Structure 1
Amino acid sequence: MDEHIYKSTSSSGMAISMDFLSNPFSIPIITTTYLLLLLCLYVYSQQRKGKLTKKYHPIAGTMLNQLFNFHRFHDYMVDLASKHGTYRLITPFRYEVYTSDPVNVEYILTTNPENYIKGTYNHTILKDLLGNGIFTVDGDKWREQRKVKSHNFSTKALREVNTLIFRENAVELAHTLSEAATNNQILDMSVIFMRASLDAVFKVAFGMDPESMFGSSEESVRFNDFFDDASAMTLKRYVDVTWKIKKYFNIGTEAKLKENVKVVDEFVYKLIKIKTEQIDNNEDSRYKGDVLTRFLQFKDMSPQYLRDIILNFIIAGKDTTSSGMTWFIYLLCKHPEIQDKVAKEIKEVIKFKDVMDFTGFVNVMTEDVLEKMHYLHATLTETLRLYPAVPLGVKICAEDDVLPDGCHVNKGDMMTYQPYAMGRMKLLWGDDANEFKPERWIDENGCFRPESPFKFTAFQAGQRICLGKEFAYREMKIFASMILGCFVFKLDDENKQAKFKKTLNLHINGGLHVRVSKRAQ
């Protein structure tokens, strides 16, 4: 629970934010919200009596319920999804519709995607941090950015450059782990993976590594910390109706958000300046075809728009890998028998004897070799089922619509599908839905068996499917093959249960502290 949130005893046992209640605007907002609740309950009762013809999903609560449960936000949404499947929450301005039904998800993302957009509501909440980047825009701006970025994931030459980057980073990662194993040091793997993924995304996005840019990796770590804090405060805007008032008066979380975004901006603008100077000086890079160089070819782009594009790319590149690998190691520490099974497959497929020859080990990891690691792929996918990097997919309904289940969605309603909740639905995955079980992804021939992207929604689907899906899997498989083929991981505190940060992406709170030992030959 956030240190600024204290518990107040009530019949429901909810945790109430004293910061929220101390705001002079809170009481009238609470009163208004509950008056709206009474009105909506009246409307619902009329529907039940047949006096209204439209069918709507059940009401599961209000925005205040989300705020009271913000300390366990995603697990609270799992509770609602397990009870209702698809449901509504009431806010002062619109209905919020949440679904965990794959049929509805397919309709939103593929059948009628033009009607489910980011919209002004999402853009207003996200723009202070993410600007007009690909995660906040629709229409021409979205198509323009997606087209340019797709080039970095589609051509064979650029895939080869990316693979080279991942291999180099895997070797550096292995040396760090080897030193820790020799000296019996405790490592925070969340920091280790964050640095490795940031290093990779800088090379892909800018054609340079952060140490050559800044002389050390500390500035990039500082950027990441400030971004994560800004992300947490941005997420809270979805449940705090007073955020615009706080922003206007520059108080509370909004004042802190402004400070954090300033640090993030300074970092990104510095990167753009360095790269622009390199291009002007005709300095060559061994990492060809970087994203920023391609966007700099468009002479009419403002520095602000470049900032937005690059920041969104950095976020997309670092978060899936760093959060995914951190949860992956956490789950393997909790299930050492699965850790050993993954390591056994890696060693059998690679057939490289000297596991301390890191360069030789990683050079054996060709595309063909990685594709043979079905159990590793299943274990990574099972990790993302339980801990998707993006736990919620938030859209706005552009025009009145009817979902496949027969329920209506009104123009302006927020329409959200829930990767985190869907990964824990017994209706979708069986009674063992909460268990970490890679075997659910393996068929009778021992091969990886994919699921529908509308059931396993970690990478979205349809026209907005994640461009970097294969990019992320390739990076994670190279990292995982290297470190599990060479090392054994144990939690420093084996009784500790990991919690997630309350941010836009699903990171472990407080880090992941492990002990590393060298794996037997």
Structure 2
Amino acid sequence: MALFSSPEPHHLLVSFLVLLLSLLFCFIKLRSSKTVPTLPAEWPLVGMLPSVVANLHRFHDYTTSLLAAAGSSFVFRGPAMHFFVTCDTANVRHIFVSNFTNYPKGEEFAAIFDAMGNSFFNADGESWRRQRGRVQHLMSSPQLLAHMARCCRDKLENGLLPFLARMESLTSLDMQDLFTRFTFDMTAMSVFGVDPGLLTADMPPVIVPDAMEAVMDVGFIRNMVPSSCWKLMKCLKIGPERKLTAAQSELHRFVREMMKKWRDGPAHMDMDKEQDKKKVQIVSSYIHDPEYTDDHGKPNAFLYATLINYMFAGRDTVGTTLTWLFYNLIKHPHVVSSIRRELAPIAMHKATTTSGNHMMIFEPEETEPLVYLHAALFESMRLYPPGPIERKTVMTDDILPSGHKVQKGETILISLYSMGRMEGVWGKDCTEYRPERWVKEDGKLLYVPSYKFLAFNAGPRSCLGKHISVVHMKSVVAAMVWNLDFEMVGGYVVEPKSSVVLKMKNGLWAKILKRRIE
């Protein structure tokens, strides 16, 4: 409970103003300096924080340069902040696998992401094990997996591809926005059995996805400043915290609306079909559990947080990955050609049953064995992991494989983004997009241990939805690459956004046209 209690607001305000003035002074000094130190300089009162603030606009690349210079690990010190930052694969294996129980997410993590409540995103210990067991049971259900596959195919066949087919060749669109809409609708259909309809011709406002993005953006800021700062802003309802409060309200409103639509069901649906429908959606496995409902059988805060957690897990991973993958594909047309060569035998076989006026869709069982398509996907996730940074707390003093000592209560930040760019891990061409690195000489997919390729986490907390999300993404990519051509629009910079989720700061603008297949 002490974690959530705050000092008197006026004391916090004075501390905040002192910190702000110190940061401003150091920031001006850093901006006026012509040389950039190998590692951040430590200033009185504010430590290394000014260097981070000065490079916040390029945080992930800045962190990568520091880790490369420091040999994959360094200690960050700031005002009431002490982080051990690493991308050392031996450390990662130790933290995520070998000594997993000593490195939970911790109470401060749960406070930072309070929008997730006590759901499995934040949970540790017995609560996490119980919730994970339930998710694992769900993700092994043939009925649910079949339902999720239908949701993906339906949204692809009746939403994404028709939308793109209507596009004029001279019209550009933001593919990041497109994939956000697609994955949001698809995830809501899997969780609630309801299509929010964001991917339609009129392109309605993306209010709820924007609220989800605000949660991740503010979560990043909370990670980067002393906890007293963001807790003061939360208390005063100012700055990013005001935005977060509005976002959380919007997410709760969305869940209430979806729950109502789920309960009501389509008016034309008979009782038998309604019961079949409720058996396969994620919400139906929680709604009758007393742990997730109040004394009147209504959803409680725990259920709201759990369903919001599912929405984040489904939308952010897939939508972000697809955006960066198509960025890489557009930049490397030879990769697109290789994927099309791999798809060609399947397409020729399907051509006899597919009308020339319709776009071809590839089934999961057809794309699952495709090695090069898989390699192109994983290579993009290596360079642009959807979750670029992980945070852990030290339970008891320990010595990491790198030789660094970490103490109880200390925070560890693991940069997945940096790990994919370490020459010692991936070779001298580590910054190049080269799917071939994932293909062995015998043509089979190269196995890379999860502590080296952390996009799906590692150890006991590894992603339970990895297989189904990869299958879905391969089907989407196959259909889009086979049926369409893409051309990047110039005049803007594509770069990562400083957030907990690795979205693009300016979107991904491209022209899309129907491909002429000979």
Residue 224 of structure 1 corresponds to 209
Runs (4+) off by over 6 Å = 30-34, 214-217
- 1:413-468 per-position Cα deviation (integer Å, ceiling 9, x unaligned): 11122111101111111111111111110111222212111111111111000111
**Aligned-pair CA distance for 1:229:** 2.3
Residue 138 of structure 2 corresponds to 152
Give the number of equivalent residue pairs. Answer: 468
Residue 258 of structure 1 corresponds to 245
Contact 1:382 1:438 in 2 (8 A): yes
Q: 2:74 aligns with which of 74, 82, 87?
A: 87
Query: Is residue 101 of structure 2 the alignment partner of residue 105 of structure 1?
Result: no
Distance in 2 of aligned mates of 1:160 and 1:33 = 53
Residues 30/251 of structure 1: CA separation in 2 closer, same or farther (3 Å cut): closer
Residue 306 of structure 1 corresponds to 303
Contact 1:324 1:384 in 2 (8 A): yes
Residue 511 of structure 2 corresponds to 515
Greater Cα offset, 73-82 or 335-344: 335-344
Which SS does the other structure have where 1:187 is aligned? strand
Query: Is residue 417 of structure 2 the alignment partner of residue 417 of structure 1?
Result: no
Distance in 2 of aligned mates of 1:358 and 1:243 = 55
Residue 232 of structure 2 corresponds to 245
- 1:460-484 per-position Cα deviation (integer Å, ceiling 9, x unaligned): 1110001111121011101001111
Query: Is residue 182 of structure 2 the alignment partner of residue 235 of structure 1?
Result: no
Query: Is residue 56 of structure 2 the alignment partner of residue 65 of structure 1?
Result: no
Contact 1:349 1:372 in 2 (8 A): no
Distance in 2 of aligned mates of 1:180 and 1:486 = 13
Residues 356/141 of structure 1: CA separation in 2 closer, same or farther (3 Å cut): farther
Contact 2:368 2:471 in 1 (8 A): no
Matching of residues 187-336 of structure 1 within 5 Å: 187-211=173-197, 218=204, 221-241=206-226, 242-278=229-265, 283-284=274-275, 286=277, 288-302=279-293, 303-336=300-333
**Aligned-pair CA distance for 1:140:** 2.7
Q: 1:77 aligns with which of 63, 73, 89?
A: 63
Q: 2:471 aligns with which of 469, 474, 494?
A: 474
TM-score, normalised via structure 1 length: 0.83
Residue 103 of structure 2 corresponds to 116
Residue 351 of structure 2 corresponds to 353
Contact 2:364 2:475 in 1 (8 A): no
Matching of residues 16-35 of structure 1 within 5 Å: 25-26=15-16, 28-29=18-19
**Aligned-pair CA distance for 1:107:** 0.8
Residues 103/60 of structure 1: CA separation in 2 closer, same or farther (3 Å cut): farther
Residue 167 of structure 1 corresponds to 153
Percent identity between the two aligned chains? 28
Which SS does the other structure have where 1:238 is aligned? helix
- 1:274-328 per-position Cα deviation (integer Å, ceiling 9, x unaligned): 334559x963464752111101121232421111101111001011111111111
Which SS does the other structure have where 1:237 is aligned? helix
Distance in 1 of aligned mates of 2:357 and 2:406 = 55
Query: Is residue 498 of structure 2 the alignment partner of residue 502 of structure 1?
Result: yes
Residue 31 of structure 2 corresponds to none
RMSD: 2.7
Which SS does the other structure have where 2:84 is aligned? strand
TM-score, normalised via structure 2 length: 0.84
Distance in 2 of aligned mates of 1:218 and 1:151 = 35
Distance in 2 of aligned mates of 1:272 and 1:345 = 42
Distance in 2 of aligned mates of 1:75 and 1:141 = 35
Amino acid at match of 2:343: I
Distance in 2 of aligned mates of 1:268 and 1:359 = 35
Amino acid at match of 2:360: F
Residue 380 of structure 1 corresponds to 377
**Aligned-pair CA distance for 1:216:** 8.9
- 1:23-67 per-position Cα deviation (integer Å, ceiling 9, x unaligned): 864453379999xxxxxxxxxxxxxxxxxxxxxxx9886233322
Residue 363 of structure 2 corresponds to 365
**5+ residue gaps, structure 2:** 1-12, 25-38, 43-47, 294-299
Q: 1:455 aligns with which of 449, 452, 475?
A: 452
Distance in 2 of aligned mates of 1:59 and 1:117 = 28
Residue 45 of structure 2 corresponds to none
